[in-house]
Chains A and B, each alone.
Chain A
């Protein structure tokens, strides 16, 4: 009987302890979540965006992160899933005696040439807003109608849905004499861009363009969204699903690959397979690829298409050309000096605007219509932040568990990286030989140097760490060193476990919840350092309150 009561009391004590640990972990996790999302004056946004750029710069070629056609270790997608940019420039226009702005007559001729390639769809990233002669408009619509008849959909960039009406004003008719309307030929698409306010980089792609106050789904679908959805068995459902986001500036995150497309090596004078090693970041060197003139999407120059003299290496029978473009999505854009149609991208700096749409379509194809969307554009928003809290809770629990184990070994609850008393006692008299102003000024000068010359920082950290280890080994007793080693083993064990949890959280978040990698490095940094800071301040405070609460209850009991 007494044994059962003892077991019961033990069980209650265990439950109470587990609950207390869980609550303290939750408190710690909530503080971590707050700091991860603490964005006073928008100062946290650049670091979060930069973290995401780093992830794509280092792993953007990997199929697990960005399963685009041609990604490392990823089976080549059929040509039907290939996106090709067709680039018009002054050289292409000159071949047909045309000049910027591209006349409709040229567009009509060029579409007729593209028809030979039998693409899956063609998008014209040109705003046809300049006045044009009626015959030129009718010619363009006639060629477009022919392509439509051949099963090649045409998408035309517009700034608003009514823009096609200007083409209808020409009153064109087909061969049978029936009115030929622009809407029969072209599907209007929005080409509006989004930029991050912190650095004006276009990382997001809008779902649609709609007026303030209008309902989600009521606007003009963005080019890539519309093209992708029309591939699906139920385009209307696809559009409804993708444009359901409530915020007017909602968009999906663009995954980027740092490497250029292999096809572009034929014309590019820079290397297309340049990769950036994470080691560069550790060595304090530029961690993102510099401006690359080799874009990540296969690019066919208009001049090469119009004249074999511009690119004679496309095969005697144009085999390479057909292999590239047959069944592909052709995004026709312009690269004209002074046109201003450039987009700032996270990994390739400035590129002609058509790449924005091409990469967005590649994203939709790679992620099968389930692109990555930031938490702030998701509904219910609290659920997505709750997921972060859950992950941090588990990480905080691991941290607490490690701390408890360390305390068992070392009751003073020292961090494994903290100097021992013996080492402090050894170093302090050494420094005390110098007058206080001298050593303080020396330390200040040293830190000033390290701040001014970034290359010295890594060297300084390495020297300090090695120096401290040497001092500890020299002055600390063997038992202290053993305890310190156990602490380090526990630290790295807990870190490994935490990394496992983070990997799982990333997999669930990225694969199933479609969250972009913006917060990944935040998780890592909090596990490595953040909990140490939050722990002392918050958990100790929580414990004290807990003790007060217990004492208060006990006081009531005795009264």
Chain B
């Protein structure tokens, strides 16, 4: 009987730990690293896209700014070759800024990806705050940043509270630099997921598929 109870408790603990690990290893930018993720088109209102060269180990460098048609002459979707912390996407192009730059990267802010389309519409910005406190002691602790309820009215997303505490990088939370310890962040590992998919979605699809997003309140 005791053995059965022990087994049951161990099983429950294992389930909890697994669930916790699943949650904690689901960092920001995980969607970006999906193997079938693709860059569908620009969202810069016809402005040139800034491209970066380099990699996570040696750092990134501004390479040039180009029009979307330079990297996708046929206005086709481009496979995402790698991601860096959900902020940078590596595109299959190493010549748009001249020779010798190596693989080029573009900020996820300026392009629409298929991974983003699959996510539910988000109406609330991540809760941010200014560090305006004056402390007599250590400053190495964090606040809770809880957005007001009315800001989330109409949101189809879980409260932004969860995203406020999500790690800012694409690595697992344990690798994120913490204010308490000041440990440096290790570079995230790039994802070499190849482009797949029967049909190439176009930017027009992207625009049609994205629901209108309003203000958080």
Docked CA distance A350–B148 (Å):
22
Residues in chain A near residue B19, CB distance under 8 A: none
Residues in A whose Cβ lies below 8 Å from that of B61:
105, 108-109, 139
Cβ of B172 < 8 Å from any Cβ of A? Answer: no
Smallest CB separation, B19 vs chain A (Å): 23
Interface membership of chain B positions 107-125, coded 1 if the CB is closer than 8 angstroms to chain A and 0 otherwise:
1111010001000001111
A20 on the B face (CB < 8 A): no
Chain A window 258-272, contacts with chain B (Cβ cutoff 8 Å), 1 for yes, 0 for no: 000000011111110
* Chain-A contact segment, one of B2-10, B48-56, B67-75: B48-56
A326 → chain B closest CB, angstroms: 9
Contact, CB under 8 Å: B60 / A313: no
Q: Which of B52, B85, B108, B129 contacts A308 (CB 8 A)?
A: B108
CA distance A105 to B53 in the complex (A): 12
Assess whether B168 is in contact with A94, with CB atoms less than 8 Å apart: yes
Q: 1/0 per residue A126-155: CB within 8 Å of B?
A: 000000000000010011001000000000
Chain A, interface residues (CB within 8 Å), range:
35 or more
Of A314-322, A456-464, A501-509, the one contacting chain B is A314-322
Q: How far is the CA of A304 from the CA of B187 in the complex (A)?
A: 20
B86 touches A309 (CB 8 A): yes
A337 near B140: Cβ-Cβ < 8 Å: yes
Complex: A38 Cα to B163 Cα, angstroms:
56
With A105-B61, A266-B216, A301-B128 already in contact, the answer to whether A342 and B134 are too (CB < 8 A) is yes
Interface-central residue, B129, B163, B206, by most chain A CB under 10 Å: B129
Would B50 and A268 count as touching, CB distance under 8 A? no
Q: How many angstroms between the C-alpha atoms of A308 and B44 in the bound complex?
A: 13
Smallest distance from the beta carbon of B149 to chain A beta carbons, Å?
Answer: 11
Which residue of A99, A305, A351 is within 8 Å of B177 (Cβ)?
Answer: A99
Measured CA separation A271–B65 after assembly (Å): 39
Q: Are A266 and B148 in contact (CB under 8 A)?
A: no
Residue of B nearest to A143 (CB): B62
| A164: min CB distance to chain B, Å | 20
Residues in A neighbouring B187, C-beta threshold 8 A: 97
B130 touches A116 (CB 8 A): no
Chain B residues whose CB sits within 8 angstroms of the CB of A319 once the complex forms = 45
Most chain A CB atoms below 10 A, which of B29, B108, B131, B146: B131
For A291, the closest partner residue in chain B by CB is B132
Instruction: Point out the residues of chain A lying under 8 angstroms from B184, CB to CB.
Output: 99
If the complex has contacts A265-B216, A305-B109, are A94 and B185 also in contact, measured as CB distance less than 8 A?
yes
Point out the residues of chain A lying under 8 angstroms from B48, CB to CB: 116
Is the beta-carbon distance between A269 and B125 smaller than 8 angstroms?
no
| A336 contacts B by Cβ under 8 Å | yes
Minimum CB–CB distance from A418 to chain B (whole Å) comes to 49
The reply to whether B130 and A310 form a contact with Cβ atoms under 8 Å apart is no
Contact A96 B132 (CB under 8 A): no
Could you tell me if B213 and A269 are in contact, using CB atoms closer than 8 angstroms?
A: no
| Residues in B neighbouring A318, C-beta threshold 8 A | 43-45, 109-110
Whether B216 pairs with A91 at a CB distance below 8 angstroms is no
Verify A267–B126 contact, CB threshold 8 A. yes
Alpha-carbon gap, A270 to B128, bound state (A): 10
Q: Which of A60-113 contact B (CB under 8 A)?
A: 87, 89-92, 94-97, 99, 105, 108-109, 111-113
Establish whether residues A268 and B128, one from each chain, have CB atoms under 8 Å apart when the complex forms.
Answer: yes
For window 142-180 of chain B, which residues contact chain A by CB distance below 8 Å?
A: 145-148, 151, 163, 168-169, 176-177, 179
Nearest A residue (CB) for B141 = A337
> What A residues does B179 contact at CB under 8 A?
90, 337
Partner of B129, one of A269, A307, A310: A269
Given A87-B130, A266-B216, A338-B139, check contact A271 B148 (CB 8 Å): yes
Q: Using Cβ atoms and an 8 Å threshold, which residues of chain A touch B140?
A: 337
Q: Is B28 an interface residue, CB under 8 A from the partner?
A: yes
Cβ of A322 and Cβ of B185 under 8 Å apart?
A: no
Residues of A within 8 A of B52 (CB): 109, 112
Interface assignment of A372: CB less than 8 Å from any CB of chain B: no
Is the CB of A49 closer than 8 A to any CB of chain B? no
Cα A552 to Cα B140 with chains together (Å): 81
Known A94-B169, A112-B62, A116-B50; contact A312-B213, beta-carbon cutoff 8 A: yes
A326 nearest in chain B by CB position? B45
Residue of B nearest to A92 (CB): B168
Q: Are A269 and B145 in contact (CB under 8 A)?
A: yes
Q: Does chain B have a CB within 8 A of A115?
A: yes
Asked if B107 contacts A266 (CB within 8 A), the reply is no
B59 touches A309 (CB 8 A): no
B146: chain A residues at CB < 8 Å are 269
The reply on A468 being an interface residue by CB < 8 A is no
Q: Which residue of A lies closest to B109 (CB)?
A: A308
Please pick, from B107, B112, B131, B213, the residue contacting A306 in the complex, using a CB distance under 8 A. B107
* Cβ contacts under 8 Å, B96 to chain A: none
A311 within 8 A of B: yes
> How far is it, in angstroms, between the C-alpha of A322 and the C-alpha of B133 when the chains are bound?
31
Judge if A295 is at the interface, Cβ distance under 8 Å: yes
Report B-chain residues with C-beta under 8 Å of the C-beta of A87. Answer: 130
Chain A residues whose CB sits within 8 angstroms of the CB of B151 once the complex forms: 265-266, 269
Q: Nearest Cβ in chain B — how far from A349, in angstroms?
A: 7
On whether the beta carbons of B43 and A316 are closer than 8 Å, the reply is yes
Judge if B189 is at the interface, Cβ distance under 8 Å. no
- For B42, the closest partner residue in chain A by CB is A317
Asked if A335 CB lies within 8 Å of chain B CBs, one says yes
* Contact A315 to B65, CB < 8 A, known contacts A309-B86, A322-B45: no
- B87 within 8 Å of A (CB atoms): yes
Contacts of A348 in B (CB 8 A): 132
Instruction: Indicate if A352 sits at the interface (CB-CB under 8 A).
Output: yes
B47 sits at the interface (CB 8 A): yes
- Taking a contact as CB atoms under 8 Å apart, the answer to whether A112 and B207 are in contact is no
Interface centre among B28, B132, B185 (most CB of A within 10 A): B132
Interface centre among A95, A115, A271, A342 (most CB of B within 10 A): A95
A349-401 at interface with B (beta carbon < 8 Å): 349-352
Q: Any chain A CB within 8 A of the CB of B196?
A: no
Query: Known interface pairs A116-B49, A318-B43. Does A335 touch B109 (Cβ–Cβ under 8 Å)?
Result: no
Do A105 and B59 touch across chains, with their CB atoms under 8 A apart?
yes
Contact A94 B177, beta carbon cutoff 8 Å? yes
A91 and B124 CA atoms in complex are apart in Å by 18
Binding site for A on B (CB under 8 A): 28-29, 43-45, 47-50, 52, 56, 59-62, 65, 84-88, 107-110, 112, 116, 122-134, 139-140, 145-148, 151, 163, 168-169, 176-177, 179, 184-185, 187-188, 206-207, 210, 212-217
8 contacts between A and B (CB under 8 A): A96-B60, A113-B107, A266-B215, A295-B130, A306-B109, A316-B213, A322-B45, A352-B131
User: 4 more A-B contacts (CB under 8 A) besides A95-B169, A309-B86?
Assistant: A89-B131, A95-B87, A303-B168, A318-B43
What 9 A-B pairs come out closest when comparing CB atoms?
A: A112-B62, A312-B122, A267-B128, A316-B210, A91-B168, A95-B87, A311-B125, A112-B50, A350-B132
